[in-house]
């Protein structure tokens, strides 16, 4: 009997693996913390974050300076950094730079297979941030819209039309919101903002038939917009103000960092205030043209405007189970004085793999910080010549922006972009002066 027990028993573990119960507990905790410890942000991400801060603080030259090199770096943030640069450049009326940046982003957004192969597998099983960021559907729509705005401001109506048509992609209504694999039905886009601008393009291109049909689609989708979907309103105007107000939702996580949520919600964000327009010190009668065309805060809550990979929840569940199993296995063996070399390997493998899966299950919270909450389209009919025009929001802490010497043409139309921000109220002189980048200065990372 003793001989049989001796043959079936394992050799004792080496001394460095014969761990006492307290040491085992400390080992488990240390290994757990090692795998869950966050990594330092790469230099490029810090630089992008500082550029976003510069933008919000009204320092557009420094924001452009920081974003230019990042926009050319073909990494997982290529699209996002180009959208950031496009937003800053559009605000600064650097239209060449805005067109180039939005164009680069647009090409990747519309390209297929950029996250296929090894990058996709790594994103699913390691970290979603390895995916090339292409944005939520509402961010993609805004990206194409902003490219269209740049073309429209340059009176390149054919290219503006193409960009705006690309905005109106089909939306997906999923059979099961919790499982994308169960299929979906395609639905018409509700991005009325693009319908209205597209109708204006058709008018400028002399296609009144297509303009009428496009405005009719806008009325059908959003009857509340009233005169803003009337073709005559747009045909008669010679100045268009494109006003970006507020900021879109940000991505947050809950349930162990694995499920994305969007904040704020429409209830917590409050109602969108209405603008007033002052032309040459007199209020311009807008005649019910101040309805917000979209609300990205509300759109983000609509599953059709989201693209969320439900594999995150699966990963975090698997990871938690493996960590629990590994820790329990080791503690059980240690408590019974039966902890051997092979047990240490099993325990470490379970905990390490589980921790890696949990770390990778954290949702990708990257988002386009400059995206507006809404866009107002304000068509004006002014006497030909120069005008001082102020857009103000009395119910939003008197937020305003003023431009002096904006030109209302005798024929055709001029479009002007206003990005509402408390740090750049103006008044600004038209035409805007080109951006002068600040001198480079060394900065500790």
Answer yes or no: is 237 within a domain: yes
Output the pLDDT for position 183: 73
Output the pLDDT for position 118: 44
Answer yes or no: is 319 within a domain: no
Output the pLDDT for position 176: 64
Would you write out the chain's pLDDT as a tens digit for each of its 445 residues? Answer: 444 444 444 455 444 344 454 555 555 555 445 444 444 578 999 999 999 999 999 999 999 999 999 999 999 999 999 999 999 999 999 999 999 999 999 999 998 655 544 444 444 433 455 688 999 999 999 999 999 999 999 999 999 999 999 999 999 877 665 566 667 788 999 999 999 999 999 999 999 999 999 999 999 999 999 899 999 999 999 999 999 999 999 988 766 666 668 899 999 999 999 999 999 999 999 988 999 999 999 999 898 888 755 334 444 544 555 555 555 545 555 555 555 656 556 556 555 555 555 555 566 789 999 999 999 999 999 999 999 999 999 999 999 999 999 999 999 999 999 999 999 999 999 999 998 888 765 544 4
Domains of the chain: total: 1
Answer yes or no: is 378 within a domain: yes
Output the pLDDT for position 313: 40
Answer yes or no: is 31 within a domain: no
Answer yes or no: is 322 within a domain: no
Q: Which domain holds residue 235?
A: 135-308+363-429
Between helix 21-36 and helix 341-360 the angle, nearest 10°, is 30
Answer yes or no: is 14 within a domain: no
**Which CATH number is 173's domain given?**
1.25.40.10
Answer yes or no: is 372 within a domain: yes
Answer yes or no: is 271 within a domain: yes
**The two three-digit tokens of residue 209, written as one number:** 């038939």
């Amino acid at each position: 009997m003793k001989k049989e027990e001796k043959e079936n028993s394992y050799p004792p573990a080496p001394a460095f693996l014969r761990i006492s119960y307290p040491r085992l507990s400390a080992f488990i905790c240390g290994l757990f913390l090692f795998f869950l410890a966050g990594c330092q942000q790469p230099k490029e991400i810090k630089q992008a974050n500082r550029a976003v801060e510069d933008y919000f603080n009204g320092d557009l030259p420094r924001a452009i300076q920081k974003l230019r090199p990042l926009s050319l770096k073909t990494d997982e943030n290529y699209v996002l950094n180009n959208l950031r640069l496009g937003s800053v450049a559009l605000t600064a009326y650097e239209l060449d730079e805005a067109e180039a940046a939005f164009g680069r982003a647009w090409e990747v957004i519309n390209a297929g297979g950029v996250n296929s192969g090894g990058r996709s597998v790594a994103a699913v099983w390691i970290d979603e941030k390895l995916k090339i960021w292409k944005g939520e559907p509402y961010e993609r729509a805004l990206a194409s819209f902003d490219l269209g705005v740049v073309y429209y401001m340059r009176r390149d109506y054919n290219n503006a039309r193409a960009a705006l048509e690309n905005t109106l992609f089909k939306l997906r209504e999923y059979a099961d919101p919790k499982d994308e694999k169960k299929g979906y039905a395609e639905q018409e886009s509700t991005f009325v903002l693009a319908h209205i601008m597209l109708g204006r393009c058709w008018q400028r291109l002399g296609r009144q038939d297509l303009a009428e049909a496009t405005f009719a689609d806008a009325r059908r989708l959003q009857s509340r917009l009233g005169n803003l979907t009337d073709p005559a309103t747009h045909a008669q105007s010679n100045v268009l103000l494109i006003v970006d107000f507020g900021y879109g939702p940000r991505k947050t996580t809950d349930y162990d960092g694995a499920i994305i949520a969007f904040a704020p919600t429409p209830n917590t964000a409050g109602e969108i205030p209405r603008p007033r327009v002052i032309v040459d010190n007199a209020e311009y009668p807008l005649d019910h043209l101040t309805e917000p065309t979209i609300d990205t805060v509300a759109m983000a809550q609509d599953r059709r405007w989201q693209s969320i990979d439900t594999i995150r929840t699966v990963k975090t569940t698997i990871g938690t189970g493996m960590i629990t199993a590994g820790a329990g296995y080791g503690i059980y063996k240690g408590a019974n004085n039966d902890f051997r070399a092979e047990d240490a390997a099993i325990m470490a493998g379970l905990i390490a793999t589980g921790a890696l899966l949990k770390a990778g299950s954290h949702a990708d919270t990257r988002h386009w910080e400059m995206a507006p909450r809404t866009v107002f389209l304000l068509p004006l009919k002014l006497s030909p010549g120069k005008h001082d025009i102020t857009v103000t929001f009395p119910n939003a802490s008197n937020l305003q922006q003023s431009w002096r010497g904006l030109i209302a043409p005798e024929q055709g139309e001029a479009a002007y972009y206003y990005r509402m921000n408390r740090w750049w109220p103006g008044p600004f002189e038209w035409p805007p002066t080109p951006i002068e980048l600040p001198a480079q200065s060394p900065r500790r990372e």
